Structure 1
Amino acid sequence: MGSPGPATISLAGIGTGFGFRKGVPYLLGIILGTVGVLILIATGVSALVLAIPAFITGLTVLATLYILYLAWKIATAPVLASNKATSTAPSLMSGFFLAIANPKAFAAIGAVYTSHTLINGDIFADSLIKILALAVVIVIVNSAWLLLGSSFSRVLSNEKQGRIANIVFGIMLLVSVALALVTL
């Protein structure tokens, strides 16, 4: 959790292209969606849903199309601070959709969630502690990626450098998705 992947790269790209404040709704969507993935894993619902091959294929296609759109939006985001005031950053729902469609989130959270038992003999308490701890990690890590991207925004006030950074973040998002799809 927290390593570069579709959600974290998109947060850094949005921070660079739109700034921290305009990226907060998207950040909240990523957080809510990722916590949703955590709850799906904790309750076992994800295992039932992912047992349906047609659902997996459909979700993968939709997620890929959406991430292509998001990569384009990041790569073509305005560069200069004066342009940020008039541009529209991706919404809370955009972040939520990316988070729940992110294959890396299911893999990483599933691995972390199932790897240890914190409270022996009480499945409910064990699950609750894991959910709370991982939710805190999700908030901190994703906020840090948006903050990292927004710090680039202040450094990259030159239009050429800013455009290159936005394009690089867009490409990194595409590469992270390709890597996630290859490892499925």
Structure 2
Amino acid sequence: MAHESKGYALVTSFTPGPNNIMSLDSARRLGLKKAFPFLLGVTAGCFAIMLLACYFNLALYHFLPRFKIWMNVLGSLYMLYLAVKIAKSKSSTKDNDHNGGYTFKSGLLLQFINLKVILYGITVISTFVMPYDDSYIALFIISLLLTGIGFAAIVCWAVFGALFQRFLNKYERAFNIVMALLLLYSALSIWI
């Protein structure tokens, strides 16, 4: 990958978005070990999206204008749902054994309506990869590399959530409102 594509991949992967915010919140609520199935689900879903972006990029590029509005609507509604759920959530210290919906399946399915990951995959593959190499092996390796970068990002956010769990739980209401506002911003940024 070219220097520009590495920078784009790092910035896009590590900036706030549904995956990172939800990873931080899952580790804050459950601890890092119990949040790991969710993180693995996010990673598996991200890898699937990267593969789809690689192998169907040209077709998606031609049809995206028709589907973009529906992807925007679904992605925005889901992020709004997550924002409301986080803002209204009760204290996590009362029931730390419950996974709070942070499962492998929820992490996996999140990727298929996470517009940030979908557009990231389409953009990075079409702009930085396909003009230089569109062989199946190269696309598979790039998908693994991009997924690895994404995994590093969500683990960093989850570690932050776990390390500062006590502090974040002490100020849980304020933290939940900030996280909800960040998700709301993510949903609105789709339309800006």
Q: TM-score range by the shorter chain?
A: 0.7 to 0.9
The 1:162/1:131 distance shift into structure 2, 3 A limit, reads same
1:106 aligns with 118
User: Quick one: distance in 2 between partners of 1:85 and 1:100?
Assistant: 27
2:32 aligns with 20
One-letter code aligned to 1:171: L
User: Quick one: distance in 2 between partners of 1:61 and 1:31?
Assistant: 23
2:165 aligns with 153
One-letter code aligned to 1:178: L
One-letter code aligned to 2:187: V
One-letter code aligned to 2:181: I
User: Quick one: distance in 2 between partners of 1:99 and 1:121?
Assistant: 25
> How much is the aligned-residue C-alpha RMSD, in angstroms?
2.9
Q: Which residues of 2 match residues 1-184 of structure 1 at below 5 A?
A: 1-2=12-13, 3-44=15-56, 47-48=59-60, 51=63, 55-86=67-98, 88-117=100-129, 123-158=135-170, 161-182=171-192
User: Quick one: distance in 2 between partners of 1:69 and 1:98?
Assistant: 12
User: Quick one: distance in 1 between partners of 2:179 and 2:137?
Assistant: 40
Q: Say how many residue pairs are matched.
A: 180
Unaligned 5+ segments in structure 2 are: 1-11
User: Quick one: distance in 2 between partners of 1:58 and 1:121?
Assistant: 31
Are 2:34 and 2:99, in contact at CA under 8 Å, matched by a contact in 1?
A: no
User: Quick one: distance in 2 between partners of 1:174 and 1:46?
Assistant: 31
Shift of 1:18: 3.5
Q: Secondary structure at the match of 1:137?
A: helix
Are 1:6 and 1:102, in contact at CA under 8 Å, matched by a contact in 2?
A: yes
> What per-residue deviation string (whole Å, max 9, x for no partner) do you get for residues 3-26 of structure 1?
212221222233333432332232
Q: Secondary structure at the match of 2:190?
A: helix
Shift of 1:39: 0.7
User: Quick one: distance in 1 between partners of 2:180 and 2:58?
Assistant: 29
> What per-residue deviation string (whole Å, max 9, x for no partner) do you get for residues 18-77 of structure 1?
432332232222212211110111102574387165644333333322222222222233
The 1:20/1:46 distance shift into structure 2, 3 A limit, reads farther
The 1:84/1:124 distance shift into structure 2, 3 A limit, reads same
Are 2:37 and 2:104, in contact at CA under 8 Å, matched by a contact in 1?
A: yes
Q: Secondary structure at the match of 1:84?
A: coil
One-letter code aligned to 1:7: N
Sequence identity of aligned pairs in percent?
27
User: Quick one: distance in 1 between partners of 2:114 and 2:62?
Assistant: 13
Shift of 1:131: 1.7
Unaligned 5+ segments in structure 1 are: none
Q: How does the TM-score come out when normalised to structure 1?
A: 0.79
